[in-house]
A and B are shown apart, each in its own frame.
Chain A
Amino acid sequence: EAQVTQNPRYLITVTGKKLTVTCSQNMNHEYMSWYRQDPGLGLRQIYYSMNVEVTDKGDVPEGYKVSRKEKRNFPLILESPSPNQTSLYFCASSPPPGVNQPQHFGDGTRLSIL
């Protein structure tokens, strides 16, 4: 089954404790992206990757890092999490954007930073 898998699904942690949210897709997609969703603000793009070793900032990249060492994985790293990063996070993947195919989303990761 084609899917985007995020882990963990839920996490409560404390300010400053580094954490990584993993994202893996099994569709051999070149493009991957991270979004965060907050009440009243909708979904906003954090980072995206056009292919292995190619990443770029989205609209709200501050406080986040990403890496794309393999095609299937696109982890989101919070080096020093803060309470304003409490949010619902989604990973998405698709063929290259120019191919005009839809993005597939994971089920989400709910982070609470205390």
Chain B
Amino acid sequence: DAKTTQPPSMDCAEGRAANLPCNHSTISGNEYVYWYRQIHSQGPQYIIHGLKNNETNEMASLIITEDRKSSTLILPHATLRDTAVYYCIALVYNQGGKLIFGQGTELSVKP
């Protein structure tokens, strides 16, 4: 699985967009980029995933660079409930479906 690199922590003001970067410079052509988050010690929650094209759903947007070496998760209007650890995972589902969680980015949304 490709190694991903994320900043350990970020702050964001409530109501503003939160932009969380992820580097995955060794990603290969068939590796998807997944984002999960974990609030306190709850179970990881799926946010979004993509391969090449930018993706958007009701929670967030995912911007993947053309060379696929990096991506950005965008929470358009962050709320206090978005405070969590965000994990970026580059994954090929041919190794037992294993998700390799790195250290993630601890996002603090402040009033």
Interface residues of A (CB under 8 A from B): 4, 31, 33, 35, 37, 42-43, 45, 48, 50, 56, 58-59, 88, 90, 92, 94, 97-100, 102-108, 110
Contact = CB atoms under 8 A, between A and B. Distances in A.
B98 interface: yes
A97 B95 CA distance: 9
Instruction: Give 8 nearest A-B pairs by CB, closest first.
Output: A97-B93, A105-B43, A97-B97, A102-B46, A43-B101, A42-B101, A45-B98, A105-B44
B111 interface: no
Given A90-B44, A104-B46, A42 B97 contact: no
Q: Which of A31, A37, A56, A105 has the most CB of B within 10 A?
A: A105
Interface of B: 32, 34, 36, 41-46, 49, 93-94, 96-99, 101-104
A18 B100 CA distance: 29
B46 A103 contact: yes
A104 B96 CA distance: 15
Question: What is the predominant secondary structure among interface residues of chain A facing chain B?
Answer: strand
15 contacts: A33-B97, A42-B103, A42-B104, A43-B99, A45-B98, A50-B97, A97-B93, A97-B94, A97-B97, A100-B32, A100-B93, A102-B34, A103-B46, A107-B42, A108-B43
A45 B96 CA distance: 10
A43 B46 CA distance: 15
A35 B38 CA distance: 14
A108 B46 contact: no
B96 A102 contact: no
Q: Which of A90, A92, A102 has the most CB of B within 10 A?
A: A102
